[in-house]
Amino acid sequence: MNNKAVIAMSGGVDSSVAAYLMKQRGFDCIGVTMKLFANEDIGISREHSCCSLDDVEDARSVAYSLDMPYYVFNFSDRFETDVIDRFINAYENGITPNPCIDCNRYLKFDKLYMRAKELDRDYVVTGHYARVEKDGNGRFLLKKALDDTKDQSYVLYCLTQEQLSHTIFPLGEMRKSQAREIAESQGFINARKADSQDICFVQNGSYADFIEQYTGKNYPDGDFLDKDGNVIGRHKGVIRYTVGQRKGLGISAPEPLYVKAVNPVSNTVTLSYNDWLYSSIVKAGDINLISVPEIKGEMRVKAKVRYRHTEQWATVTQNGDTITAVFDEPQRAVTCGQALVLYDGDTVVGGGTIIEVE
């Protein structure tokens, strides 16, 4: 392999420090910002978007300070079909998506990786907090970051062996505070820039408002049901609810009520008390395994069912392109559409999209 790398630069401090570290290692680097959407098309002001003009200029400023060529690649068509459309379709079907995983899977480590190959660049470098290592059998491993408060391995479980062999995460061995110190020492314009919001294309956190504005659709009111199917109120459109949600229900009850299920076919949302939200068996499809080529028999792992979930002990089995995890203790508000990610210590075994919860 050559020592030429493409640095995915969002305009934030992490990717800027990643670029600096790669230059320090002697790599021949070019900086790239992916243009994923036009702000006006999705109703976002530039101050709230990771694809804003300000962010592009911040990335360009850092690249030039590092004497590094810089380009903006327009990947908006792919982002629309593989991230935004999937995001909307999920909510319309009563599923809770994770667009950051889709962006990594289809944009950063697919579309950008292919462009890097066209440019004769062997590595894609990002500011993710994770690590890539090689085991004694020549298999590439995805591992947690040293800073467990910033670890992003969960949203990277889709990376294949080929992609991992061409990926570098320079921040995996450091803490966020160290990254900011490096940025300040180099005089980067974004050294104290705040971290971007979770969903870059959704303004003010109102994903339902975004969906209505983007699609031009009106999602009709429907019935709230209790666990026995009795009507107990009216909801404001199925896209506004996800499993485990408590806020915004507007239903009076002796105990707090939570969303247990969303059924877009009947246009109903089922509510229950907290005790009914727990599940022990979780099935995931569209799987990607990293540390092993397949799971044979039963495997003891720790597993996460969403990004902020504390991993829990489970026994996992594989059946073709699906895996089933049986948790030692029931887990709360497991949601279809989120990722089930498996860990062996600090190593990612693999994961998949949750398709069934028992």
Residue positions in the annotated binding site? 8-15, 34, 127
CA distance 239 to 45: 23
**Annotated catalytic, 200?**
yes
**CA 196 to mean position of chain CA atoms:** 13
**Annotated catalytic, 336?**
no
Residues 6+ apart with CB under 8 A from 77: none
- From the list 29, 51, 200, 336, the catalytic residue is 200
Q: What are the binding residues for ATP?
A: 8-15, 34, 127
- From the list 29, 51, 103, 336, the catalytic residue is 103
Residues 6+ apart with CB under 8 A from 176: 14, 129, 147, 149, 150
- What amino acid positions are annotated as catalytic residues? 103, 200
